[in-house]
Structure 1
Amino acid sequence: MHTDEREVELSDGARVGYGDLVLAPGMEEDLDAVPGLAGAMTAGWSLTAHLESQAPAVWDAVEGMSRGRVVFTLPPEPSPCGGTALKPLFLACDEWRRRGVLNDLDVHLVTPFTGVLGLPFVDDRLEAQLGELGVSVHRESTVASVDHRQRTVTVDGPTPTVLDAVDRAFVVPPYRGQGWLAPLAREEASGQIDVDPETMAHRSAPRVWSLGDAAALDTRPSGGALRRQVEVLADNIARSRLGQPLRCYDGYTIVPVTLDRRRLLLAEFDRTGTQAPTTRLVDLSVPRRALWLFDRYVEPLLYFRALLRGRLVP
């Protein structure tokens, strides 16, 4: 990056000039942040659906279990839609209950939040579901280390715990900004790009903007947040060229949570964690069959045929 000259250097050494530069490269997993995790994943004892290379093996592992101890985790923020890591847990428990083996499994969830997601308007429903399934929840906690040889997961939190005799550990790794963005990053924000969280303009590099997971927007990253971010950012680029006041992004984001094979809820909130519904006609934070059907059949069509082609309607 050569922001003083307004140029981007490519991998072959060539430089490309820009008038405005928008950065949206996403984040990368940081396996080394959890001692033992890389080795455990190589051994296949630890898996996560958050990594494309491992996603197919997660369900194979779930189907192969009928007893023992299993650990699921929610990653610390910032993480690419970290709340969706509840989906493998809920679907696994639904499968085990359907097969009649859930009572033979000791299921644990490690979450960094005071509640399940740290969102009061959905946590009560999620707590009730986890209680019904018999899941032990370790709140305000993160995975400090794993050892696939000893089959242990060390949990760091208000009550440090070592879970032993773990048959499977579905651990979502921490994430951080990509290394090549370091000159534009805010280190205390896990390497995310140092932008004003309201305008998405870089704090020190003129005409540089960022959105998505890589941007330090002080909200929880999610693909569903991009629609609002793109609208505000596109308008702000035009406004900055005209010398007009910039619009503010309120941190709106959304986390879809699948509770079983039939129901899904949508948690919509701003950067303060306050519920920010996009419709008043129905409460989308209530688990519904219709939301599951929308997410399963309609959302993929919208994503691939509209969103990825730039057809973003405010």
Structure 2
Amino acid sequence: MAAPIEVTGSDSEAQPESVLEGMKGKKIQGRSLGQIAWMRLKRDKVALTGGGVVVLLILIAIFGPFFVQDPLAYHQNLIDPTYSRPRDGFWHSGISAEHWLGVEPGTGRDMLARIVYGARISLLVSFLATLLSVFLGTILGITAGYFGGKVDFIISRAMDAFLAFPLLLFAIALVGVVTDGSFGLSGNGLRVSVLVFVIGFFNWPYIGRIVRGQTLSLREREFVDAARSMGARNGYILFKEVLPNLVAPILVYSTLLIPTNILFEAALSFLGVGVIPPTPSWGGMLTLAVPLYATAPMYMIIPGMAIFITVLAFNLFGDGLRDALDPRAK
């Protein structure tokens, strides 16, 4: 008869009974996918920095106009009439204790106030356009991927047509055709609506393709077959079974689409089809800065840096969010 094996040392500490004895009185709690993603995101300091800058920019766009000067107020006493540039400050920028980012050449309008109001325009247009793109792309993409056949063919060919559309030229032409007072709107309200429509409506195929590809994979999964076997209708399967599994890619792509829309809005304003002056916008400020770069370079650098920092922050946060929501990441 063999002698019993005595377990000692580290082996005894690894026994299940010992582990359970030590956990007595404590509940073992599972972690949701959201909690796991948040734990991963917290470890990514670069993404958190980008997210912090994004939150700061949103707060500035919402509350900043209440704390800055009037962006349309002229300060001609700060402008050198000979060169039409600020008298003082680094690189003739007019930076002072009263004007932290200097003043605009020629008019003397406060640059900080114009940057803050420009942030409101850029973020408003980009967020609304992204919501429109995500809504259309998700609905059409999930429909094409789930039903397939002729439905998939028609929607996919529509995606190809929209992707081949000369969006920039169409935006310029549309702004020229739409007269002031159309659709019950006028002024900058009409311009912002046109920008949101053009950017959002014609960008949905990008997210539509992603949603369609993910849906083609999800519709063959076991939980979809189980829902069908229990008599679930297509609408229930689409919005209760498939769509919740698309939240992660939709959220990630949305954070990467927003900076693209910011750049597009700035490009349209730079070409003169954005908001109507003197309402400030970052692209419009760059347009006015081009002929003045030789005498007042800070007037171009400041709005350019505002666009650069905003786009960089969104991209860093989007990349970190993508890694955090990746189920294969460790």
TM-score interval w.r.t. the shorter chain?
Answer: under 0.3
Say which one has the larger Rg. Answer: 2
Provide TM-score, normalisation by structure 2: 0.22
More helix by share: 2
Provide TM-score, normalisation by structure 1: 0.23
Larger relative contact order (CA 8 Å, sep ≥ 6): 2
